[in-house]
Structure 1
Amino acid sequence: MKPPAAAAEFLHQHGWGDAQLSPVAGDASFRRYFRVREGDRRAILMDAPPPHEDPRPFIHIAEYLKNSGFAAPEIFARDLESGLVLLEDFGDQRMREHLDYHPEDEDAIYRQAVDLLRDLHKVPAASIAPYDEAQYLREAHLLTEWYCPAQQLDVDADRFDAIWRTLLEPVIAAQHPPVTVMRDYHAENIMLLENGGFGLLDFQDALVGHPGYDLVSMLQDARRDVSDDVEEKMLAYYLSGHSQKEAEEFRSQYAILGAQRNTKIIGIFTRLSVRDGKQRYLDFMPRMWRLLEKDLQHPALAPMAHWFDENIPENVRHRPIPMAKTAP
């Protein structure tokens, strides 16, 4: 992975002219990352090339988080025309790998991650777009737009849409006042810092919405198995201090958000494979179906569980995605 052509001049202009660059693992987007080293100094170069990417949302949320007392990367330099941003380097100690080697720390680290969300939900929400019905529906439709065609399924998409609209009503009603939702808050986007705190990454798609969304993102992690026991303990910990009625309503909305998110991710992972040739994301499909089926067991989701039973029966859910398909 070679640095972008504009990187050398960008770094030179901002006092890193003698720096060495090495690639850092990225994500599912067009963004690329490079570690920048010059003597004892370290930084991260984000390459967010227009028109595919726009680094401004990342910069906006990073500054909001820092101003609110959270550890987002400091922005050292930016060139929005080229899509280059020089960031603070949080190192390589991700929550994911730490727990792989130190499973005994799981409860303590997840509790700390829950505490961070509770603190975030106490500060005024960022000045960004809302997680509204249209956004939730666009994401849920990724299942019928990508997964179902890939599996050659003729499904009742209108009924799917109607059920989601009904399910989302109490979720959207509970988003007042809204909180900042980072949308990808999970073990691969949380860095363990030397001071014992958490460094936050991958929040450029943030919206303002429901406090349960980031919680379900972390506890129903698409890329790491979180046991039912840990999920229940952390959910109960988040809800400590809530009345029984409040807790029951939150748990219902949590299950709806989990089902919506997991439905979306099944669609996204299918799209990444079928359209973009990134077949490694199909390895996560069994986990995604397991998480979705767990959410569908909640009584509030009975109509959606019935839709899945009618339109995507269990034997289909575990069928491999054919690789010969083209984009719809």
Structure 2
Amino acid sequence: MNSRAASTSAETGQDARLDLLREWLAGMAGRRDLALDSIRPASNDASFRRYFRVDAGAGSLIAMDAPPPQEDCRPFVHAARVFGEAGLRVPAVLEADLERGFLLLEDFGGETLLDRLQGPTAPDEAQIDRLYRGATGALLDMQAASRPGVFPDYDRALLERELMLYPDWYLARHREATLSDSDRNTLRAAFDALLANNLAQPRVYVHRDYHSRNLMVLPGDEAATPGILDFQDAVYGPVTYDLVSLLRDAYVAWPEERQLDWAVRWWESARKRGLPVPGDFGGFWRDLEWMGLQRHLKVLGIFARLHHRDGKDRYLADMPRVLAAAIEVAGRYDAFGPLARLIDRVENRALRAGYTF
């Protein structure tokens, strides 16, 4: 069921999944002290998953609805265990019905990192730095625990499938662009260059969506260690992926000098902890930018698909931020000159000069 159909069902009182969830929760209401009449939406995301908050004693818990066959709770439960053992703040899985796609989880509250940054009382520079040091510190903890064979490999097939979202959904569907053979060759050459770089990078655990909407600000934590959500798609892949996801977030933009400061601090800490990062920061920054370009192109395709296929229009407002990041990197490196010119033509813009390391 897509988001429009789910909304219609809820409006007409025919939300069969919610009825099943209520029935499941009723079976544990006594031992979990659940107030079943308090069930209300907590959030939803870009997938078919939905989250509901339910009062439990003096606090509350989160019920996840991940409808099969579109979703599978098993990777979430597995990743929660792995990351929890690494010392990360991930929600405890309290109850699970893996066959029907229901989980009962610890509630981290309702304030994401993005909420804090965009709230009515904006944090000052020192507070922002503390929040991001907390986020990069947790990322280091996750990566330091890495070992092969725990999560699926972030292999060429998956990276390439993600890149193809850009021509298939953003260019063809969203921009209604007709690509010539030359255009397709340009994309192929750019994708091959990106993939060669991405696959040559050292490998660690990769969250795949480590950004401000999936990091929770937890009350009373002076170290600003975030609560981490939405980790069910974790893989074993490029060391720069999660860092660039955080620093070049689809939902908030930071000046490049600030990105560089946070990246240098992360890189220095990673070296001290023995993580597999290049000894030269310039090479590391180039790897981060190229990994970021792969992600930016993918995200443009995902946002277009969410709009056109799933009726989730709210992501359209974030497209310009992601596009600007892609343009910046494509215009900075000679390897992506033809791609930059293709983007310029599609977007009706003039290429601006950049610099490289």
TM-score where L is the length of structure 1: 0.89
Distance (whole Å) between structure 2 residues aligned to residue 294 and residue 8 of structure 1: 48
Match of 1:115 among 137, 148, 166: 137
Aligned to 1:296: 330
Matched length: 314
Shift of 1:187: 1.0
Amino acid at match of 1:46: M
**Equivalent of residue 115 in structure 2, options 94, 97, 100:** 97
Q: Which piece of structure 1 moves more, 92-101 or 60-69?
A: 92-101
Secondary structure, aligned partner of 2:339: helix
Give the ranges of 4+ consecutive aligned residues of structure 1 lying more than 4 Å apart after TM superposition. 241-245
1:244, distance to aligned residue in structure 2 (A): 8.2
What SS does the aligned partner of 1:4 have? helix
Letter of the aligned partner of 2:210 in structure 1?
Answer: Y
Corresponding residue SS for 2:162 = helix
Correspondence 1:310 to 2:310? no
Q: Give the superposition deviation at 1:310.
A: 3.2
Tell me, in whole angstroms, the C-alpha distance in 2 between the residues paired with 1:10 and 1:275: 31
SS in 2 for 1:216: helix
Query: Gaps (5+ residues) in structure 2?
Result: 1-9, 272-276, 351-357
Does structure 1 conserve the Cα–Cα contact (< 8 Å) formed by 2:112 and 2:212?
yes
Identify the residue that residue 36 of structure 1 maps to in structure 2.
Answer: 54
Measured against aligned partners, the alpha-carbon deviations of 1:236-282 in whole angstroms (never above 9, x if no partner) come to 11122659853122111101111000000111111111112222211
- Residue in 2 that maps onto 1:173: 200
Unaligned runs of 5+ in 1: 319-328
Output the CA distance in 2 between the equivalents of 1:239 and 1:81: 42
Percent identity of equivalent pairs:
34
Instruction: Work out whether residues 251 and 318 of structure 2, in 8 Å CA contact, stay in contact via their aligned partners in 1.
Output: yes
CA, structure 1 residues 38+108, in 2 after alignment: closer, same or farther (shift >3 Å)?
A: closer
Q: Which has the higher mean CA deviation after the structures are superposed, 259-268 or 10-19?
A: 10-19
Residue correspondence of structure 1 range 1-328 to structure 2 within 5 A? 4-14=18-28, 15-16=31-32, 18-19=35-36, 20-100=38-118, 101-104=121-124, 105-125=127-147, 127-150=150-173, 151-155=175-179, 156-175=183-202, 178-196=203-221, 197-240=225-268, 246-299=280-333, 302-310=334-342, 312-313=344-345, 315-316=347-348
* Residues in 2 aligned to 1:311 and 1:244: alpha-carbon distance in whole angstroms: 31
Partners of 1:305 and 1:27 lie apart in 2 by: 35
| 1:58-104 Cα distance to aligned partner (Å, 9 max, x none) | 11101111111111110010111211100000011221111223331
- Closer, same or farther: CA 310–9 of 1 in aligned 2, 3 Å: closer
- Structure 2 counterpart SS, 1:121: helix
Distance 2:142 2:218 in 1: 18
Q: Aligned-pair distance for 1:35?
A: 0.3
What amino acid is the match of 1:308?
Answer: A
TM-score, with length taken from structure 2 = 0.82
State whether residues 179 and 209 of structure 1, in contact with CA within 8 Å, keep that contact through their aligned partners in structure 2.
Answer: yes
1:107–1:230 CA contact under 8 A, matched in 2:
no
CA contact (8 A) 1:30 1:52 kept: yes
Q: 1:317 to 1:7 in 2, by over 3 A?
A: farther
2:186·2:338 contact (CA, 8 Å) conserved in 1? no
SS of the counterpart of 1:44? strand
